[in-house]
């Protein structure tokens, strides 16, 4: 009898959440690592990106720096104008990657269904928790504690019935937040939020939506779909569904395309092909090492070029099998640079190289469908 009543209770609990999704996002990630490792930076406006006299952009900044209006992707020179006493530091990607790896491993202690979307951000489906914990809010609280104890860094978490809502929720009370969107309260949570809170809505789409008279998700949810698609093309349907909280995506650790990439804004625009090739070779080596270290494989090589006039292009090539060495990545990238861009003729401001469509070698193995991957040229 006892066992029965227990299972009846847990069935009832499970019924309340269709899916239990947690989104975890580290707070001011690169800047928080710098403040952790350099005590003199704590409680100060810290900008990660490099020398403010260089032409790079802000990777991220501490919450103290955000009070001055500094934001990711802003030119460093502008950040300097906004806050002259900010401390500008160079990024240490190897350290961030290591911390990220540690955090992702902690998340995998709770479930195999972890989809990491960037160094500092991941979704978990904890509908079936590894040790049977039923309450996703408790799991999220444990995760935050695990991360703090292991890394001395804070993360924000969102708990909801879908990936979309969990992501919006994790952003809701940053830093060190834990926001829960309980089943049945989805619209109450979403309706008052400004449209900018929808992932993928940047300043351009926001302006367009405001111009159309939609300031909040509630207003956007009530907008005729035809009007949205007419004005915004294929974004229209996504926005309409997002504003209504509709999202059927599954957390998928092995299929989601991921990218390993590096890019650099040069101190001076350059037409020097030899120099650009040299940079590509250095990126290829670093990327290849990263793939080896993180056990990931991918076959699509992506080259990014921004010209002096800020025109940005990407060119990619998908190989028939995964690259066997950094030299192979370099050769493909150099060929793309020479044949598919105007580098050497037009001045180049920024150069980037990446590998897209990455999957995790371990995760492929556990899928036990090697044929599927062999047909894509990925060796197990």
| Interface residues toward ligand TTP, by CB under 6 A | 25-30, 59-60, 72-73, 120-121, 174-175
Nearest Cα residue to 358 out of 303, 290, 277, 304: 290
- Clarify whether 186 is annotated catalytic: no
Select from ligand TTP, Mg ion, none the partner in contact with residue 125, using the beta carbon and a kind-dependent cut-off of 5 to 8 Å: none
**Mapping DSSP to helix (H, G, I), strand (E, B) and coil, where does residue 311 land?**
coil
Q: In whole angstroms, how close is the CB of 74 to Mg ion at the nearest point?
A: 16
Phi and psi torsions of 181, nearest 5°: -105, 100
Q: Give least dist CB 96 to Mg ion, A.
A: 11
Binding to Mg ion, residues 110-139 (CB under 5 A): 120
For residues 214 and 206, what is the distance between their CA atoms, to the nearest angstrom?
9
What CA–CA distance (Å, rounded) separates 116 from 199? Answer: 16
25 belongs to the binding site for Mg ion (CB under 5 A): yes
CB of 29 to Mg ion, least distance (A): 5
Which of 34, 64, 115, 121 is catalytic? The answer is: 121
If one counts every other C-beta atom within 10 angstroms of the C-beta of residue 5, the result is 9
The reply on whether position 34 binds Mg ion by CB under 5 A is no
Binding partner of residue 115 among ligand TTP, Mg ion, none, CB under 5 to 8 Å per kind?
none
Tokens at 314, concatenated: 């990407």
Structure tokens at 42: 């704590």
- By a kind-dependent CB cut-off of 5 to 8 A, residue 30 interacts, out of Mg ion, ligand TTP, none, with ligand TTP
For ligand TTP, give the closer residue by CB, 172 or 331.
172
Q: Using the rule CB under 5 A, is 26 a contact of Mg ion?
A: yes
Q: How far is the CB of 33 from ligand TTP (least distance, A)?
A: 8
Q: Which stretch binds Mg ion (CB under 5 A): 19-27, 282-290, 297-305, 312-320?
A: 19-27
> Do the beta carbons of residue 133 and residue 13 sit within 8 Å?
no
Q: For residue 306, how far is the Cα from the chain centroid?
A: 22
What is the DSSP-derived secondary structure letter of residue 176? S
The length of the chain, given as a count of residues: 380
**Interface residues toward Mg ion, by CB under 5 A:** 25-26, 29, 120
Catalytic residues: 121
């Amino acid at each position: 009898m006892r066992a029965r009543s227990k299972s009846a209770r847990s069935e009832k609990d499970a019924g309340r959440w269709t899916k239990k999704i947690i989104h975890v996002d580290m707070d001011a990630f690169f800047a928080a690592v710098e403040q952790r490792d350099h005590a003199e930076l704590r409680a100060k406006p810290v900008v990660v990106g490099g020398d403010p006299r260089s032409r790079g952009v802000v990777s991220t900044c501490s919450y103290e720096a955000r009070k001055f209006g500094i934001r990711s992707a802003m030119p460093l020179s502008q950040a300097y104008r906004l806050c002259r006493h900010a401390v500008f530091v160079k990024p240490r990607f190897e350290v961030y990657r290591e911390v990220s790896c540690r955090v992702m491993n902690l998340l995998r202690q709770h479930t195999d269904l972890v989809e990491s979307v960037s160094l500092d951000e991941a979704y978990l489906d904890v509908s079936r928790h590894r040790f049977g914990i039923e309450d996703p809010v408790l799991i999220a609280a444990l995760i935050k504690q695990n991360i703090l104890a292991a890394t001395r860094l804070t993360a924000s978490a969102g708990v909801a019935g879908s990936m979309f809502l969990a992501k919006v929720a994790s952003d809701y009370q940053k830093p060190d937040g834990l926001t829960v969107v309980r089943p049945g309260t989805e619209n109450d949570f979403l309706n008052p939020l400004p449209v900018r809170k929808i992932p993928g809505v940047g300043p351009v789409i926001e302006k367009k939506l405001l111009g159309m008279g939609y300031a909040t998700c509630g207003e956007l949810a009530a907008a005729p779909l035809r009007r949205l698609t007419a004005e915004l093309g294929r974004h229209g349907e996504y926005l309409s569904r997002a504003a209504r909280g509709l999202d059927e995506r599954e957390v998928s650790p092995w299929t989601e395309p991921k990218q390993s990439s590096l890019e650099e804004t040069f101190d001076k625009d350059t037409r020097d092909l030899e120099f650009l090739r040299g940079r590509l070779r250095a990126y290829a080596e670093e990327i290849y090492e990263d793939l080896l270290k993180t056990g990931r494989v991918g076959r699509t090589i992506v080259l990014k070029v921004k010209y002096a006039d800020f025109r940005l292009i990407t060119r990619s090539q998908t190989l028939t099998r995964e690259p066997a060495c950094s030299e192979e990545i370099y050769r493909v990238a150099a060929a793309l640079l020479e044949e598919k861009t105007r580098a050497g003729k037009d001045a180049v401001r920024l150069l980037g190289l990446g590998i897209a469509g990455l999957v995790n070698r371990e995760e492929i193995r556990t899928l036990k469908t090697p044929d599927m991957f062999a047909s894509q040229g990925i060796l197990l």
